[in-house]
Each structure stands twice: as structure tokens, then as C-alpha cells.
């Protein structure tokens, strides 16, 4: 599988070397195995599988760009699902047009057998493929919007319950409360109190705000 270097030119005896696959996972924590296994089952040569591990927010994806440059007319590209080409309706449609119309590449979407441009190259077949593509592109974008909305609602609900996000603050030094009280009473400056605690002034004040707000130390 290609993650950086150019894939080897060699294919397998059972399938032409002009067959390719593309894998995209949205973050570096997602596992690409499901997509990779599907491509291998479709007998895509290992060296012809390109993979990006980054956000699909835009199309600044190095391996996808390398793949598109390598593709030639009548080459065959396998993808697991239509949203591997983009994260919204417009982007999916645009990439499909570039690949099929401008470069003359055939595409097989494994999760949707109707989207196989090798079949039905007559007017009716093309018409049906275009309809399916438009519907699935819309569904992919709509699902992404729904996921965002559910995430936002979940975060808002958690915050309302007092859940804090991000890494927990480091434990305060033992003399923090003493320095805090001296600072609050005006006996020493904030900078002096921060130095006593061995922390930046901004951190000292931030922890003071947290303490004053809800007693967290």
C-alpha cells in the first residue's frame, strides 16, 4: 500500500497493473483495515493502493493527487464508498467528473454495485449511474451534517452538565493556596505569587479564576 513512495509498477498475473484503489480515513486514529480488505478482495494489487490519513475537509491530499496524476484513460479505480472522493455533494460530483469525463477512468464503488462505470455505457446506463451518484452524494453530505449537529448537541449538553473537555490541569504546587491568599489580600503582587509557585503569571491567574469559580484546584 502506498503511503509515501511511488507504488511499484508490477501487478499480479490475475489482474492488470492499471487497476488501482484509494483509501481515505478522516483522522490518523481511524483504522483503514475495512477499506483495505475490501480492495484486496477486489484483487487490487497491493502496490497500486493509495492511502491518505487526514481530514476530507478539503482535497489537499498528497496520495490522492499522486493517484490522479498516475491514472490514464481506461484505467480502473476501486473505492469502498462514494464519500471517499469527498465530504460534500459538490466535491464528490467534481472529482467524479474529473476522473470519468476528463481522464476517462472507470470507477467501481464497492458499497454500491450500481456505480460501476464499466457497465451500461449506453445512454440509459449513464443516466442511471448519474442519478445514483447524485443521490449518494447528497446522502453523504447530509450524513456529515447530521454527525456535526449531533456532536455539537452532545458537547453542549455535556458542558451544561459541567463536563470539562481537554486535558485535566496539572496538580497545583503545595504552596499555591498560601501564595493565592497573599495575592488576594494585597500582600504580594500577582507576579510575585506566580514566582513563588514556579508558574507563569497567566497560568497562576487562570488557576485562580477556576478556583474562584467552582473551587477546583
Residues annotated as part of the active site: 26
> Per this entry, what is the length of the chain?
217
Round to whole Å and give the CA distance between 195 and 204.
9
Residue 119 CB-density burial (10 A; 0-12 exposed, 13-18 middle, 19+ buried)? middle
Residues 33-43 as b/e (b if ≥16 CB within 10 A, e otherwise) read eebbebbeeee
What are φ and ψ of residue 153, in 5° steps? -65, -40
Query: Strand 49-53's sheet: what is its strand order?
Result: 49-53, 19-25, 76-79, 106-109
* Cell numbers for 46: 497491493
State how far the alpha carbon of 139 is from the alpha carbons of 35, 58, 143, 210, in Å: 19, 18, 6, 44
Amino acid at each position: 500500500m502506498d503511503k509515501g513512495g511511488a507504488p511499484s509498477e508490477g501487478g499480479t498475473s490475475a489482474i492488470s497493473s492499471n487497476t488501482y484503489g484509494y483509501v481515505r480515513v478522516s483522522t490518523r486514529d481511524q483504522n483503514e483495515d475495512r477499506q483495505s480488505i475490501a480492495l484486496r478482495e477486489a484483487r487490487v494489487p497491493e502496490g497500486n493502493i493509495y492511502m491518505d490519513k487526514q481530514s476530507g475537509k478539503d482535497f489537499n491530499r498528497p496520495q490522492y493527487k499522486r493517484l490522479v496524476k498516475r491514472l490514464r484513460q481506461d484505467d480502473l479505480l476501486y473505492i469502498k464508498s462514494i464519500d471517499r472522493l469527498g465530504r460534500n455533494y459538490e466535491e464528490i460530483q467534481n472529482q467524479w467528473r474529473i476522473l470519468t469525463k476528463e481522464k476517462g477512468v472507470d470507477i467501481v464503488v464497492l458499497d454500491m454495485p450500481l456505480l460501476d462505470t464499466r457497465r451500461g455505457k449506453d445512454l440509459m446506463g449513464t443516466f442511471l449511474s448519474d442519478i445514483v451518484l447524485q443521490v449518494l452524494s447528497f446522502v453523504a453530505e447530509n450524513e456529515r451534517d447530521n454527525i456535526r449537529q449531533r456532536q455539537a448537541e452532545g458537547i453542549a449538553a455535556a458542558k451544561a452538565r459541567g463536563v470539562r473537555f481537554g486535558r485535566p490541569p496539572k496538580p497545583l504546587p503545595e504552596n499555591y493556596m498560601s501564595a493565592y491568599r497573599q495575592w488576594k489580600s494585597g500582600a504580594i503582587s500577582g507576579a510575585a505569587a506566580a514566582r513563588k509557585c514556579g508558574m507563569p503569571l497567566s497560568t497562576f491567574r487562570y488557576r485562580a479564576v477556576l478556583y474562584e469559580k467552582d473551587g477546583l484546584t
